[in-house]
Amino acid sequence: MHPKAVLDECSELVRQVLRFEHPADATVSRYFRENRALGPRERATMAETVYTVLRNKLLFDHLAPSGSGPKERRLAILGFAHSEDEPGARPGANAKQGARDFLAGALNDQEKHWLAQCDQVQPHDLMERHRHNLPEWLVQPLREQLKDEFWPLVDSLSRPAGLDLRVNTMTSKRAEVQAELAKAGVAATPTKYSPNGLRIEGKPNLAKLDAFNRGAIEVQDEGSQLLALLLDAKRGEMVVDFCAGAGGKTLAIGAGMRSTGRLYAFDTSAHRLESLKPRLARSGLSNVHPVAIAHERDDRIKRLAGKMDRVLVDAPCSGLGTLRRNPDLKWRQSPTTVAEFATLQAAILQSASRLLKPGGRLVYATCSILPQENEAIAQAFSAANTGFTPLETVDILTHLKVEHAASLCTGPISGGEFLRLWPHRHGTDGFFAAVWQKQ
Ligand SMILES: C[S@@+](CC[C@H](N)C(=O)[O-])C[C@H]1O[C@@H](n2cnc3c(N)ncnc32)[C@H](O)[C@@H]1O
């Protein structure tokens, strides 16, 4: 496609995404479904441009004030020019220059001049909000927790996340899968903390890999793999994954159980549970039972009360730990939505805890980086449920021989009790987990 046409498409997609009517990933996929003529390269370029605009929204709004021509076109130009993935660039020695050359083919003289001016802007010319690109309400809780690590966190949140795979240990060994991927031209290195993970360079088309199609690998962030490990579900046990969604953690837990016992995958979204099904078919697991529930007090929960060995509550949350992948969330969430999540999280955790038998293990997890959805929920649960003894996550991970376990569980505000993962510290999404044993 001609650079001018690519930029026109990018501007239109930016316009649609910035209406914030739907999550950015849903808007982008719908746009691609409706514009089937776009090739894979154009799609990758457009998606990265839009995500770069979302990551840098306050800075780009400042550089492209209203009245400087169609706003979304200016934002798309900046997104294109500053994308970490260097959209439009041909593979080669100077990819960044390739992207700039490509972009130059789409701009008029006035726009070229304006972009050159933007390139001259130095950090000290900018206000703090143009550098952190976070909504004001989010800055204070992050600064309070992170102190000196605030800017390193901001920096890592402003870059795209890598791609992690979990090796299905029921059927395959990590080293063998790594070698197989290398033969297929996919460079992978073992993850630092998760014993089952591989980190991939670039963005290979997984659907073309035999290892993927036979269920030897699944996409799962390294942090999410660690959360599933904390449950430590064993062969033959009765287990509930209460908020299973599309089953990222369900599949990891089921493999850990060696496809024995019974693993209920609950979720209120039948639609999400539907997308678990092809993944289940690939994985070869036969112990997983997806169950759509109406809400956290569904009658099925009463029927299973007191019967479970392990329960994972991977609660619905603001998702602010995943800003590397979902940068729109910082503009879609607010103090109100966070407070609503906190109320729902407490209710789900309380209800899910009834499923456990004495001696059973409860894990509460989120992909949020806000204490309101994490420590506050866990501490309130402990205070109200003295029959549940908090376990130290650092002890569990050490017992499971997870490398550097202490660095995962101690940090700006944790002292070993909770798991706290941070993009700038661990290279994972931001995650929290707390664990209890029922007396
Ligand atoms: C963080 S996501 C789960 C991600 C999933 N565990 C994974 O690893 O891929 C939270 C899920 O909770 C579900 N949910 C929301 N309200 C719920 C409720 N009251 N009871 C059970 N699940 C709920 C949502 O549909 C969503 O799929």
For 282-295, the pLDDT digits (tens) are 999 999 999 999 99
Structure tokens at 379: 């501490």
Query: Mind listing the pLDDT tens digit for each residue in 6-31?
Result: 999 999 999 999 999 999 999 999 99
Q: Is the pLDDT of residue 410 over 90?
A: no
Is 267 labelled as part of a ligand binding site? yes
Backbone angles phi, psi at 336, to 5 degrees: -65, -45
Residues 6 or more apart in contact with residue 11 via CB below 8 angstroms:
70, 72, 73, 75, 76
CATH H-level, domain 222-438: superfamily? Vaccinia Virus protein VP39 (3.40.50.150)
Q: Tell the residue nearest (CA) to atom 2 of ligand 1.
A: 316
Mean pLDDT, residues 46-66 taken together: 93
Residue from 268, 300, 318, 377 whose mutation best tests the ligand 1 pocket (most atoms within 8 A of CB)? 268
Q: How far is the CA of 348 from the centre of ligand 1 (A)?
A: 10
Is 148 labelled as part of a ligand binding site? no
pTM for the model stands at 0.94
Q: Is the pLDDT of residue 413 over 70?
A: no
Q: What is the C-alpha separation between 82 and 128, in angstroms, rounded? A: 19
Burial class of 207 by CB neighbour count within 10 A (0 to 12, 13 to 18, 19+): exposed
pLDDT of residue 245: 97
Residue 65 DSSP class:
-
Q: Which amino acid is at 226?
A: L
Q: Tell the residue nearest (CA) to atom 1 of ligand 1.
A: 316
Is the minimum distance from the CB of 224 to ligand 1 under 6 angstroms?
A: yes
pLDDT of residue 107: 94
- Whether the Cβ atoms of residue 78 and residue 53 lie closer than 8 Å to each other: yes
pLDDT of residue 95: 58
Query: Mind listing the pLDDT tens digit for each residue in 166-180?
Result: 999 999 999 999 999
Is the minimum distance from the CB of 347 to ligand 1 under 6 angstroms?
A: no
Active site residue 243: no
Residues 6 or more apart in contact with residue 252 via CB below 8 angstroms:
166, 196, 218, 220, 224, 225, 228, 229
Is the minimum distance from the CB of 197 to ligand 1 under 6 angstroms?
A: no
Q: How far is the CA of 326 from the centre of ligand 1 (A)?
A: 17
Q: How far is the CA of 243 from the centre of ligand 1 (A)?
A: 4
| Total residue length of the chain | 439
- Where do the domains of the chain lie? 3-133, 163-211, 222-438
pLDDT of residue 412: 65
Q: Is the pLDDT of residue 90 over 90?
A: no
Q: Which CATH class is domain 163-211?
A: alpha beta
pLDDT of residue 93: 43
Q: How far is the CA of 315 from the centre of ligand 1 (A)?
A: 6
pLDDT of residue 415: 73
The answer, yes or no, to whether ipTM is higher than 0.90 is yes
pLDDT of residue 91: 40
